[in-house]
Structures are given as structure tokens and as C-alpha cells.
Structure 1
Amino acid sequence: MPIRNIAVGHYHEATQPDALRAALAEFISTLIFVFAGEGSGMAFAKLTDGAANTPAGLIAAAIAHAFALFVAVSVGANISGGHVNPAVTFGAFIGGNITLLRGILYWIAQLLGSTVACLLLKFTTGGLETSAFALSSGVGVWNAFVLEIVMTFGLVYTVYATAVDPKKGNLGIIAPIAIGFIVGANILAGGAFDGASMNPAVSFGPALVSWTWTNHWVYWAGPLIGGGLAGLIYEFFFIGFGNHEQLPTADY
């Protein structure tokens, strides 16, 4: 049962070298991801005189985020697990795969990484604004809330299936690219409606730097609920009972 595995952790954990190294890795990975993802949107808007909300802009955003997340997860995987997302960290905590204190360290690092990335973008682009996530015309706040839950559920479920599951076998090799692909696909599905965040850190940095907080709670509550549900369901049904068999490599 995953509930029995949930742990607060000891306060000494916050000062252990491996925990601090993991937090630093999360900071750098999130900075890399947000700088490339947010920067691609800013670059496209500049090249098209502000017309970023186009089919081409959506495809460009999906590709940039998929590639950037693939790299960000890969470079952090052997140090921190490559969460790069508070919702992923929360899902790991709900599933009993990370302590609360270590998770808080990750959250702080992820939010700082996103903020520093947006500050660097603002400086290097000569003061261009880092656009905060916002709802499109005709999209209600509850529509976006459910959309974020569903998209983040898919993301964290993918993380569990390819990276966390102890019976993942050779699937672990493709975990970073699978995670990047699901984010890119979700951006194509939901980007035209609410920006398709799936990541509170990705939403926090641009909102803080531009000081735009309209409906910001959606980009926290939706991903955290979706990530928590994915962690709970996967851990409970597919890991907790140990009742699924690993496929032979030839069957992949």
C-alpha cells in the first residue's frame, strides 16, 4: 500500500550532501527546461510580430518543450531522478517514493530554476516580457482546471511507468524521451486552450517575473491533483501488489 510508504523524513535530510546535490540538479534541469521552452515562445512571437498563438506557434512550442524536457530529465536522472516538475515530485511523494522534506527541497529548487530562467530570458532579450500562462477566449477556469488534471495525470503516469516502476526493465532507457513526448503531445492537445502547463514551476517563473497572477491557482491545483492521482493509482494497482509480470525484452 503506498499510503504506508509516505514519510515526512528527518530534518537532517535537508542538509545531507546528496540531498543538496539533488536539489542543485533539479535547479539546473528546470532552468534548462524553462529557458528553452519559454524562450522558444518568446522567439517565435518576436519573429512573427507577436503572433505566437498560431498553429505553427503551437507546433513550435510542442517540439521545443519535448526536446528540452528530454534533455532536462536525462541530465538530472542519475542525480535527483530528473523530476523537473513539482507535480512529478508530489506524485512521487504520494506514491511513497520520496520523503516530504526532500520533496520540499526539490520544489524550492524547481521554482528558483524557473524564476532564474525567466530573469535570464528577460535580460538577454532586451527586456521582452515572459508571458504568464493564461486561458484562451471561451475557456472557463474549470475547463482549464480539469484539462490540467488530465494532462498532468498522463505525464506523471508516464513517469511512473517508464522511470519509477521497479519492473520497467529496458523501458527505463527511453524514460526521458517518453516523458518529453507526452508533454509535447499534451501541448498540441491543450496548448490552444490554457497553454498546457502541467508544471507549477513552469507557470510560476513567468508569472513572478511578469507579475501576472490571473487564474494562477489553476496551474498549481490542476497539476498537483493530476500528479497525485497518477502516483496513487500506479503505485496502488501496479506496484503495490506486485501482481504484474515484466515482459520479456523481445516483447517490447
Structure 2
Amino acid sequence: MPILRITIGTPEEARHPTALKAALAEFISVLIFVFAGQGSGMAFNKLTDDGSTTPAGLVSASLAHGFGLYVAVAVGANISGGHVNPAVTFGAFLGGNITLLRGILYWIAQLLGSVVACLLLKFATGGLETTPFSLSSSVTVWNALVFEIVMTFGLVYTVYATAIDPKKGNLGIIAPLAIGLVVGANILAGGAFDGASMNPAVSFGPAVVSWTWDNHWVYWVGPLLGGGIAALVYDGVFIGFGTHEQLPTTDY
């Protein structure tokens, strides 16, 4: 079981320059991602006089978040692994791919990156508020919770398949693109219902800056559950303790 491989880490590790550089990389990646995603929504609202709930607004959000995440993962991959998401970090921890203390460093950096991005957007736009995640009318917290669990499951499963799996081979080259695409697709599916966060940090920044916390727990519990389930399924079934390396194509 992958959960048997989880490790706490040591205080020395948390203070090591490599870990601190990785946390800084996560901070910058999340800042890039949230600034692009939230900024595109604010720009669309300005251009359409708050018409973000239109189908065009949904497509705009999907493209901005997909492109932004692609870049954010790519620029952080060689330094921190390009998590850009507390749910991804949690999934990596459950699979034994990151220690608890290093994961906490990542979480702090990710949340700060989101808050700073939203503050910069508020300042750069002359005081416009960033939009907190919220549920659409007739959508209950349980509906939204299922959406967040399923969408984040797909996201973290993709991360495991393209970036974490030791057998990924050349597939790792397209990991940032695959991760960006699955987020963009999930926004098209769930954006009209609960905003399609899939990322507690993305939800946290706008909530802090606007100080709006309605149903905020959904955007933590859902992604963490979905990410954790994806990690346990992929690591337990497809990686496991004794998983062999795939034979080269010349051998069969």
C-alpha cells in the first residue's frame, strides 16, 4: 500500500536550501497561475460589463486556466516538481513522493502565492475585487463536493500518470500540457456549477482578498479527497511496491 511509504521528514530537510528553493518555485508558479486565471476573469467582466456567466466567459476561463497551468507546471517542474496545487502535494505525500514537512512548506508557499497574486490584481486594476468561488443557484454543497472530488481525481490521476509514475518515459515531456488540458476540460464541465476550483490555493487567495468564505470548505475537502483517492488508486494499483519496468519495445 502506498500509504505505508509516507514519511514525516526532518527539521533539517525543511530548512535545507533545496527545499526552500522548491517552496519559492511553488510560490512563483501559483502566483503566475492565479494571476492569469483570476485576471482573465476580471478582464472578461470589464469587457462584457460583468458577463462572465455567459458561455463565452466559461470558455475564456477554461483557456486562461489551462494555458496558465501549463506554463506554471512547466516552469516549476525541474525545481519543485511543479505541483501548483495543495491537492497535488497531498496526493504526492500519500504516495510517499514527498515528506510531510516539505509538503507543508509547499502548502504555505502555494497559499501565499495565490494571496499575493490576488492582491497584485486588485492593485493593478484600480481596486477591482477578485471573484471568490461560489455555488450556482440550485447547486447544493453536496453537488459541488462531488464535482470537486471527481474533477480533482482526474487532475491528480493525470499528474501521477504523466509526471510521477517512474515508468512514464517520454510521456513526462507532455506532463505540463496534459495537466493544463485536464483542468481546462474540467472547467468546461464544472465551471457553471461551482466554478471548478480543483485547487484549494486557487480558492483561498480570492477568499482572503474579498473576505468571502461562503461554502469555502467545499473547495478544500473536495480537492483533497479527490487528490488523495487518485494517489491511492494510481500508486497502489499501477505503481505498487514490486512494479517492474516496462520492457523496451525491442524486446517484444
**TM-score with structure 1 setting the length:** 0.97
Question: Shift of residue 168 of structure 1?
Answer: 0.3
Counterparts of residues 82-101 of structure 1 (less than 5 Å): 82-101=82-101
Q: Which residue of 2 aligns with 1:48?
A: 48
> What is the alpha-carbon distance in structure 2 between the residues aligned to residue 149 and residue 248 of structure 1?
36
Q: What are the Cα deviations for residues 37-75 of structure 1, in whole angstroms up to 9, with x where unaligned?
A: 000000000000011111000000000000000000000
Change (3 A) 1:24 1:140: same
Q: Which residue of 1 aligns with 2:199?
A: 199
Helix, strand or coil: the match of 2:130? coil
> What is the alpha-carbon distance in structure 2 between the residues aligned to residue 56 and residue 107 of structure 1?
33
Q: Which residue of 1 aligns with 2:108?
A: 108
Q: Which residue of 2 aligns with 1:166?
A: 166
Q: Which residue of 2 aligns with 1:79?
A: 79
Helix, strand or coil: the match of 1:196? coil
CA contact (8 A) 1:162 1:172 kept: yes
Helix, strand or coil: the match of 2:154? helix
Q: Which residue of 1 aligns with 2:226?
A: 226
Counterparts of residues 1-252 of structure 1 (less than 5 Å): 1-243=1-243, 246=246
2:157 maps to a residue whose letter is Y
> What is the alpha-carbon distance in structure 1 between the residues aligned to residue 15 and residue 150 of structure 2?
35
Higher mean Cα deviation, 4-13 or 237-246? 237-246
CA contact (8 A) 1:238 1:244 kept: no
Question: Shift of residue 84 of structure 1?
Answer: 0.3
> What is the alpha-carbon distance in structure 2 between the residues aligned to residue 249 and residue 144 of structure 1?
44
> What is the alpha-carbon distance in structure 1 between the residues aligned to residue 36 and residue 30 of structure 2?
10
CA contact (8 A) 1:168 1:246 kept: no
1:168 maps to a residue whose letter is K
**TM-score with structure 2 setting the length:** 0.97
> What is the alpha-carbon distance in structure 2 between the residues aligned to residue 242 and residue 69 of structure 1?
33
Q: What are the Cα deviations for residues 103-154 of structure 1, in whole angstroms up to 9, with x where unaligned?
A: 0000000000000000000000000010100000110010000110000000
> What is the alpha-carbon distance in structure 1 between the residues aligned to residue 230 and residue 243 of structure 2?
18
CA contact (8 A) 1:170 1:249 kept: no
Identity %, equivalent residues: 79
Question: Shift of residue 246 of structure 1?
Answer: 3.3
> What is the alpha-carbon distance in structure 1 between the residues aligned to residue 190 and residue 248 of structure 2?
35
> What is the alpha-carbon distance in structure 1 between the residues aligned to residue 247 and residue 238 of structure 2?
14
> What is the alpha-carbon distance in structure 1 between the residues aligned to residue 125 and residue 116 of structure 2?
14
Give the unaligned 5+ runs of structure 2. none
CA contact (8 A) 1:163 1:175 kept: yes
Helix, strand or coil: the match of 1:231? helix
Q: CA RMSD in A?
A: 1.3
Question: Shift of residue 13 of structure 1?
Answer: 1.2
CA contact (8 A) 1:148 1:197 kept: yes
CA contact (8 A) 1:167 1:246 kept: yes
> What is the alpha-carbon distance in structure 2 between the residues aligned to residue 191 and residue 248 of structure 1?
41
Helix, strand or coil: the match of 2:82? coil
Helix, strand or coil: the match of 1:137? coil
> What is the alpha-carbon distance in structure 1 between the residues aligned to residue 15 and residue 5 of structure 2?
22
2:183 maps to a residue whose letter is V
CA contact (8 A) 1:62 1:188 kept: yes
> What is the alpha-carbon distance in structure 2 between the residues aligned to residue 144 and residue 247 of structure 1?
42
> What is the alpha-carbon distance in structure 2 between the residues aligned to residue 155 and residue 118 of structure 1?
23
Question: Shift of residue 12 of structure 1?
Answer: 1.2
